[in-house]
């Protein structure tokens, strides 16, 4: 049974027809997720430029800002949220510390942990972009209500876990 999807700008009708084949719904979903990832990274690049950082650094700052409470958030937690290696977070956080955007400190409870927090300078810069961020979030969420957004988020978390396991299978040669 064919499902009807809106034709996207720049997508030919033949490509649209190919993506509407229900037998290929898994493949279509992968392409949709890929496209979403590209859009998120492009938005991060554009917003990051506004405060003088890269898109990857923007995402790191957003993760620290979103997770950070009190002393800060561990490099490990930021890496897990962004699904990147901790060494990437460490290296980028050092650059952002030199720019005065992040503060790195040692955990009082566990001296092995490096904690990250946004600085006052970063908070001011992020504040300047708050209206743009709010407009983007409102546009992306559209008319979805809180319950629908929560259900979508829950399903995406499940998909993220499954993709992580699938990656391990591919890495193992399965």
Residue-wise pLDDT for 113-130, tens only, equals 999 999 999 999 999 999
What domain count does the chain have? 2
Report if residue 137 sits inside a domain: no
* Residue 30 sits in the same domain as residue 89: yes
Report which DSSP code applies to 23: G
* Mean pLDDT rounded to a whole number for the chain: 88
The boundaries of the domain holding residue 107 are 13-131
Q: How many CB atoms lie within 10 A of CB 116?
A: 28
Is residue 28 very low, low, confident or very high in pLDDT (cuts 50, 70, 90)? confident
Task: Find the CATH number of the domain harbouring 46.
Answer: 1.10.10.10
Under DSSP, is residue 116 helix (H, G, I), strand (E, B) or coil? strand
Q: Are residues 47 and 124 in the same domain?
A: yes
- Whether 113 maps to a domain, the answer reads yes
Whether residue 28 is found in the same domain as residue 70: yes
Query: Which residue intervals of 51-109 are DSSP H helices?
Result: 55-67, 75-82, 86-98
Residues 122 and 148 in one domain: no
Q: What percent of the chain clears pLDDT 90, i.e. is strictly above it?
A: 67
């Amino acid at each position: 049974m064919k499902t009807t999807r809106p034709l996207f700008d720049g997508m030919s009708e033949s490509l649209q027809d190919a993506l509407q084949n229900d037998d290929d719904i898994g493949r279509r979903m992968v392409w949709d997720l890929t496209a979403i990832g590209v859009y998120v990274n492009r938005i991060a690049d554009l917003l990051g430029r506004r405060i003088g950082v890269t898109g990857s650094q923007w995402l790191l700052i957003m993760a620290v800002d979103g997770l950070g409470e009190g002393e800060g958030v561990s490099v490990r937690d930021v890496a897990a949220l962004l699904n990147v290696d901790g060494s990437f977070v460490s290296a980028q956080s050092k650059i952002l510390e030199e720019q005065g955007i992040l503060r790195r400190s040692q955990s009082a409870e566990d001296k092995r942990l490096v904690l990250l927090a946004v600085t006052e300078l970063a908070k001011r810069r992020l504040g300047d972009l708050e209206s743009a961020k709010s407009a983007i979030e409102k546009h992306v969420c559209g008319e979805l209500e809180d319950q629908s957004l929560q259900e979508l988020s829950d399903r995406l978390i499940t998909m993220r876990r499954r993709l992580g396991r699938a990656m391990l299978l591919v890495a193992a040669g399965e």
